[in-house]
C-alpha cells in the first residue's frame, strides 16, 4: 500500500510543469536582454565611430592625422593634425592625476588604517559627495575662482588655462581613487595586519609595507579609472581650459582637449557629411581607443597583481 | 571554585610570571585572576575547550589586544622579573620586538620569501644586506625550510604549500631573536604531515626561545609540551608538568576534559 502511494506521487513530481518552464524561460530572456542591451550599445557606438571615421580617413591620410601639428578643421585651409588636441588632453589629465593620485591614496590610507570608525563613517560619504557635484559646476569654479586665485601668484596666467582646469579636475577625481583604494585596503584580511603588528611594526609601517602592497591590484585599478575619467572629462576643460587647439606642454597655457573640441563642433551648425563634421568621429575614436587601452592595461595589472590572501 | 595548583614544583627558571591577570573585552570579563609562570627554554601548552580564553590569554603576552578599542588588562605579566609587559608606560611595539607570534592560519605577506623573513629586521630599521642575509638564512635553517627555498628566495611566498608557509611564518617570527614565541594553534589549518614537521621543529626551538602554544589537540599538547595549563571559562584550572597534568590531574574538570567528557 505504502509503495503504491509513493510511486504515484513520484510520477507527479517528475512530470515537467509547463507553467514553471515558461516562467523560467521568460525570466531568463528578460535577464539576457538587460545584459545584452549594454553590450549592444557599446558595439553600436563603436560601429558608428569606426564607420564615420573611415569616411574621414578617406579624405585625410591617417599619417597626417596622427603627426600633424595644426588642428584647424573649420578654417578655409583646413588642417587635421590631432597632436594639439592630444597635448591638451594629456596635459590637463596629467595635472589632474598629479593632484588626485597622491591625495586620493593618502585619503584612502588614512580612512582605512588610521581613522576611527566614526570619522570613517562621516568622512567617506562626504568625500564621495565630491563625485556627485555636476562637472559644469566644477568648470565654473575653475574659471571664476581658481584661475583668478592663481593669477595672484602668476600674473601672466591667461583666463583660460590648463592648470586651473587640471587642478579642479584632480579634486573631482580624488573620490574615485580614494573610494576604490579604501575598499581594496579594507578588504585586506585582518590576519595580515596582525602578522605585521606582531613583528613589532608600527601603524604606518603596517599600512605602507603590508596593507598597501596587499591591495596594490585594487589601488592600481583605481588609478586607471581615475586616468580614464581625466582623459574623458569634458565640461571642466571646455569651460576653463579654453577652446583653442594649441600644441603645448606648458600647463600655464590654454589648450583645447579632444572632448572640448567635440563639444564645440557639436554645438555649431555643421552640415552632415562634411569633413569638418566627421572630424568629431575621428577625434571621438581616438578618445575611445585611449580609454580602451587604459582599461586593457588596468585589466592586465589587476590580473598580474591580483590579491591572493 | 577551588583552584588546585599543587603539582610538584616546577624547577626551571621562570621566563615570565603572570600575576592576578584579569582581562576584559569591553564589559565581558574574559580572563579571571590568572597566576602562572612560564618556564624558560621549554614548551608550555594552553589547553581547554573553545571559548575558555586560552587565545585571549596568549594574546596578552604581546599586547595584541591593544590593537582594538575597549579592551582592558588588569594585573601584570613580569618578563625576566623586571619588566611588566602590561605596564602603562611600556610600549607594545617594544614588547612585540621581544615576544613574537605565529598565527592559526599561515599569514605570509604578499612579498617574496626573502622579504617575508626580512620584515622583522626591516621594521627595526636594519638595512645591512650581509647581516640580513645571514640572519635570514639562519632563521630559515632553524625553521627547516632553507633546503626547500634556498634557490627561490625571490619567489612569492604564495607559491609555497600551506605547511611551508607556516614554517616561513615561524622563520619570520624567529629572525629578530625574540625571547618568547607565541603559537596560536599553529597546525589547525595544516594536514597531518605538515603538522608533524611543525611539531618536530618546535621541540628543537626551545634551545633558542621560550614557547607558549595554544592547542586544540590534547594529543599535540602531550606530544610536544613540557608544561601544560588547563583553562576553563576564563580561569586557569590546573598547571603543571605535562606528564603530571595528563596522568594524574588534581582537578575533576581537568580530568573530565582530558578524558573527553567536556569540551
Q: What is the 3-state secondary structure (H, E, C) of chain A?
A: CHHHHHHHHHHHHHCCCHHHHHHHHHHHHHHHHHHHHHHHHHHHHHHHHHHHHHHHHHHCCHHHHHHCCCECCCCCCCCECCHHHHHHHHHHHHHHHHHHHHHHHHHHHHHHHHCCHHHHHHHHHHHHHHHHCCHHHHHHHHHHHHHHHHHHHCCCCCCCCHHHHHHHHHHHHHHHHHHHHHHHHHCCCHHHHHHHHHCCCCHHHHHHHHHHHHCHHHHHHHHHHHHHHHHHCCHHHHHHCCCCCCCCCCCCCCCCCHHHHHHHHHHCCCCCCCHHHHHHHHHHHHHHHHHHHHHHHHHHHHHHCCCCC
Strands B235-241 and B227-232: antiparallel
In A, what residues contact B, Cβ < 8 A? 116, 189, 191-202, 205, 209-210, 213-214, 216, 307-309
- pLDDT category of residue A273 using cuts at 50, 70 and 90: confident
- pLDDT category of residue A243 using cuts at 50, 70 and 90: confident
**How far apart are the CA of A207 and the nearest CA of chain B, in angstroms?**
12
pLDDT of residue B2: 41
| A195 contacts on B by Cβ (under 8 Å) | 103, 107-109, 169, 172
| A191 contacts on B by Cβ (under 8 Å) | 103, 105, 107
- pLDDT category of residue A44 using cuts at 50, 70 and 90: very high
ipTM, two decimals, is 0.91
Element (H or E) spanning B15, and its range? Answer: strand B14-25
With cell 591617417, the residue in question is A62
Inspect the interface and report whether the beta carbons of B119 and A199 lie closer than 8 Å. yes
pLDDT of residue B1: 39
In this predicted structure, the answer to whether residue A5 has a pLDDT above a threshold of 80 is: no
Which of B69, B101, B108 is facing A198, going by the closest CB pair? B101
Give the best residue of B119, B173, B181, B183 to mutate against chain A (max A CB count within 10 A): B119
Task: Give percent of chain A above pLDDT 90.
Answer: 53
The single-letter DSSP state of residue B64 is G
Count the neighbouring beta carbons within 10 Å of the beta carbon of residue B211: 24
Which of A116, A198, A205 is facing B62, going by the closest CB pair? A198
- From A217, which residue of chain B is nearest by alpha-carbon distance? B110
| A188 contacts on B by Cβ (under 8 Å) | none
Which of B69, B111, B172 is facing A199, going by the closest CB pair? B172
Inspect the interface and report whether the beta carbons of A199 and B120 lie closer than 8 Å. yes
Q: Which long-range contacts (CB under 8 A, 24 or more apart) does B136-142 make?
A: B136/B171, B136/B175, B138/B175, B139/B171, B139/B172, B139/B174, B139/B175, B140/B168, B140/B171, B142/B171, B142/B174, B142/B201, B142/B204, B142/B205, B142/B208
pLDDT per residue, tens digit, chain B (263 aa), is 344 455 655 667 888 999 999 999 999 999 999 999 999 999 999 999 988 999 999 999 999 999 998 999 999 999 988 889 998 889 999 999 999 999 999 999 999 999 999 999 999 988 899 999 999 999 999 998 999 999 999 999 999 999 999 999 999 999 999 999 999 999 988 889 889 989 998 888 988 999 999 998 888 999 999 999 999 999 999 999 999 999 988 888 898 888 887 65
pLDDT of residue A78: 83
Strands B71-79 and B83-84: antiparallel
Average pLDDT over residues A6-21: 68
**How far apart are the CA of A174 and the nearest CA of chain B, in angstroms?**
26
Inspect the interface and report whether the beta carbons of B123 and A191 lie closer than 8 Å. no
With cell 589587476, the residue in question is A302
Q: Full-prediction pTM beyond 0.80?
A: yes
pLDDT tens digit sequence for B191-225: 898 899 899 988 889 889 999 999 988 889 999 99
Q: How far is CA B57 from the centre of its chain?
A: 10
pLDDT tens digit sequence for A156-204: 889 899 999 999 999 999 999 999 999 999 999 999 999 999 999 999 9
Which of A192, A194, A205 is facing B64, going by the closest CB pair? A194
In this predicted structure, the answer to whether residue A275 has a pLDDT above a threshold of 90 is: no
**How far apart are the CA of B162 and the nearest CA of chain A, in angstroms?**
12
- pLDDT category of residue A89 using cuts at 50, 70 and 90: very high
Cβ-contact A178, A127 below 8 angstroms: yes
Give the best residue of B98, B100, B110 to mutate against chain A (max A CB count within 10 A): B110
Contacts for A110 with CB less than 8 Å, ≥ 6 apart: none
pLDDT of residue A8: 53
Instruction: Give the Å distances, CA to CA, from B52 to A299, B31, B235.
Output: 47, 9, 8
Which of B103, B120, B176 is facing A191, going by the closest CB pair? B103
Contacts for A185 with CB less than 8 Å, ≥ 6 apart: A108, A109, A112, A113, A211, A212, A215, A218, A219
Q: Rounding to the nearest 10 degrees, give the CA dihedral for residues B52, B55, B57, B60.
A: -150
Burial class of residue B157 (count of CB atoms within 10 Å of its CB; 0-12, 13-18, 19+): buried
Burial class of residue B98 (count of CB atoms within 10 Å of its CB; 0-12, 13-18, 19+): middle
- From A192, which residue of chain B is nearest by alpha-carbon distance? B107
Give the best residue of B61, B123, B181, B183 to mutate against chain A (max A CB count within 10 A): B123
Rounded CA gap, A1 and A20, in Å? Answer: 31
pLDDT tens digit sequence for B170-182: 999 999 999 999 9
pLDDT tens digit sequence for B220-255: 999 999 999 999 999 999 999 999 999 988 888 898
- From A113, which residue of chain B is nearest by alpha-carbon distance? B67
For chains A and B, CB pairs below 8 A equal 71
User: Higher-confidence residue: A265 or A285?
Assistant: A285
| B176 contacts on A by Cβ (under 8 Å) | 199-200
What rounded mean pLDDT belongs to chain B?
Answer: 90
In B, what residues contact A, Cβ < 8 A? 62, 64, 67, 69, 93-94, 96-97, 100-101, 103, 105, 107-111, 119-120, 122-124, 158, 169, 172-173, 176
- pLDDT category of residue A272 using cuts at 50, 70 and 90: confident
User: Higher-confidence residue: B187 or A4?
Assistant: B187
| A116 contacts on B by Cβ (under 8 Å) | 69
Inspect the interface and report whether the beta carbons of A201 and B119 lie closer than 8 Å. yes
- The distance in angstroms from the start CA to the end CA of chain B is 19
Inspect the interface and report whether the beta carbons of A197 and B176 lie closer than 8 Å. no
Which of B109, B123, B169 is facing A200, going by the closest CB pair? B123
With cell 588614512, the residue in question is A110
Element (H or E) spanning B235, and its range? Answer: strand B235-241
pLDDT of residue B86: 92
Rounded CA gap, B80 and B88, in Å? Answer: 18
Average pLDDT over residues A65-87: 85
In this predicted structure, the answer to whether residue A206 has a pLDDT above a threshold of 50 is: yes
**How far apart are the CA of A187 and the nearest CA of chain B, in angstroms?**
14
Cβ-contact A295, A286 below 8 angstroms: no
| Fold of the CATH domain A83-308 | MetI-like fold (1.10.3720)
pLDDT of residue B258: 86
pLDDT of residue A63: 87
Amino acid at each position: 500500500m505504502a509503495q503504491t502511494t509513493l510511486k504515484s506521487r513520484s510520477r507527479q513530481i517528475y512530470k515537467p510543469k509547463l507553467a514553471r518552464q515558461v516562467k523560467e524561460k521568460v525570466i531568463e530572456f528578460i535577464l539576457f536582454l538587460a545584459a545584452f542591451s549594454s553590450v549592444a550599445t557599446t558595439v553600436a557606438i563603436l560601429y558608428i565611430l569606426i564607420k564615420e571615421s573611415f569616411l574621414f580617413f578617406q579624405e585625410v591620410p591617417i599619417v597626417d592625422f596622427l603627426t600633424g601639428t595644426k588642428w584647424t578643421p573649420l578654417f578655409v585651409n583646413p588642417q587635421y593634425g590631432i597632436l594639439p588636441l592630444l597635448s591638451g588632453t594629456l596635459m590637463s589629465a596629467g595635472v589632474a592625476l598629479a593632484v588626485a593620485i597622491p591625495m586620493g591614496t593618502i585619503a584612502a590610507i588614512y580612512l582605512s588604517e588610521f581613522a576611527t570608525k566614526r570619522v570613517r563613517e562621516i568622512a567617506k560619504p562626504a568625500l564621495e559627495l565630491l563625485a556627485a557635484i555636476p562637472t559644469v559646476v566644477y568648470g565654473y569654479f575653475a574659471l571664476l575662482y581658481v584661475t583668478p586665485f592663481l593669477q595672484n601668484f602668476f600674473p601672466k596666467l591667461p583666463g583660460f588655462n590648463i592648470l586651473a582646469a587640471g587642478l579642479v579636475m584632480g579634486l573631482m577625481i580624488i573620490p574615485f581613487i580614494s573610494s576604490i583604494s579604501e575598499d581594496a585596503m579594507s578588504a585586506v584580511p585582518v590576519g595580515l595586519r596582525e602578522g605585521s603588528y606582531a613583528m613589532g611594526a608600527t601603524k604606518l609601517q603596517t599600512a605602507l609595507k603590508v596593507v598597501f602592497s596587499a591591495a596594490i591590484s585594487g589601488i592600481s585599478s583605481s588609478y586607471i579609472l581615475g586616468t580614464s575619467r581625466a582623459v574623458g572629462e569634458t565640461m571642466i576643460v571646455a569651460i576653463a581650459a579654453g577652446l583653442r587647439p594649441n600644441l603645448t606642454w606648458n600647463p600655464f597655457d590654454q589648450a583645447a582637449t579632444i572632448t572640448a573640441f567635440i563639444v564645440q563642433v557639436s554645438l555649431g551648425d555643421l552640415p552632415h557629411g562634411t569633413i569638418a563634421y566627421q572630424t568629431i568621429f575621428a577625434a571621438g575614436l581616438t578618445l575611445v581607443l585611449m580609454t580602451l587601452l587604459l582599461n586593457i592595461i588596468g585589466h592586465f595589472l589587476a590580473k598580474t597583481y591580483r590579491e591572493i590572501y | 571554585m577551588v583552584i588546585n595548583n599543587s603539582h610538584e614544583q616546577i624547577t626551571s627558571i621562570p621566563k615570565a610570571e603572570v600575576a592576578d591577570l584579569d582581562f576584559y573585552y569591553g564589559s565581558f570579563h574574559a580572563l579571571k585572576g590568572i597566576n602562572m609562570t612560564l618556564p624558560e627554554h621549554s614548551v608550555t601548552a594552553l589547553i581547554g575547550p573553545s571559548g575558555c580564553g586560552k587565545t585571549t590569554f596568549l594574546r596578552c603576552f604581546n599586547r595584541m589586544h591593544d590593537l582594538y578599542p575597549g579592551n582592558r588588562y588588569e594585573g601584570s605579566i613580569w618578563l625576566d622579573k623586571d619588566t611588566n609587559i602590561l605596564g602603562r608606560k611600556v610600549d607594545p611595539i617594544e614588547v612585540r620586538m621581544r615576544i613574537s607570534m605565529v598565527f592559526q592560519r599561515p599569514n605570509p605577506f604578499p612579498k617574496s620569501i626573502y622579504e617575508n623573513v626580512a620584515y622583522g629586521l626591516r621594521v627595526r630599521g636594519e638595512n645591512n644586506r650581509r647581516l640580513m642575509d645571514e640572519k635570514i638564512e639562519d632563521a630559515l635553517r632553524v625553521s627547516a625550510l632553507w633546503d626547500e627555498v634556498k634557490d627561490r628566495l625571490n619567489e612569492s611566498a604564495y607559491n609555497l604549500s600551506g605547511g611551508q608557509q607556516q614554517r616561513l611564518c615561524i622563520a619570520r617570527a624567529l629572525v629578530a631573536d625574540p625571547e618568547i614565541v607565541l603559537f596560536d594553534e599553529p597546525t589547525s589549518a595544516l594536514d597531518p604531515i605538515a603538522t608533524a614537521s611543525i611539531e618536530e621543529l618546535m621541540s628543537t626551538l626551545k634551545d633558542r626561545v621560550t614557547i607558549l602554544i595554544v592547542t586544540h589537540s590534547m594529543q599535540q599538547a602531550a606530544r610536544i609540551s613540557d608544561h601544560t595549563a588547563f583553562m576553563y571559562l576564563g580561569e586557569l584550572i590546573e598547571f603543571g608538568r605535562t606528564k603530571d597534568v595528563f596522568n594524574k590531574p588534581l582537578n575533576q574538570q581537568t580530568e573530565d576534559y582530558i578524558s573527553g567528557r567536556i569540551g
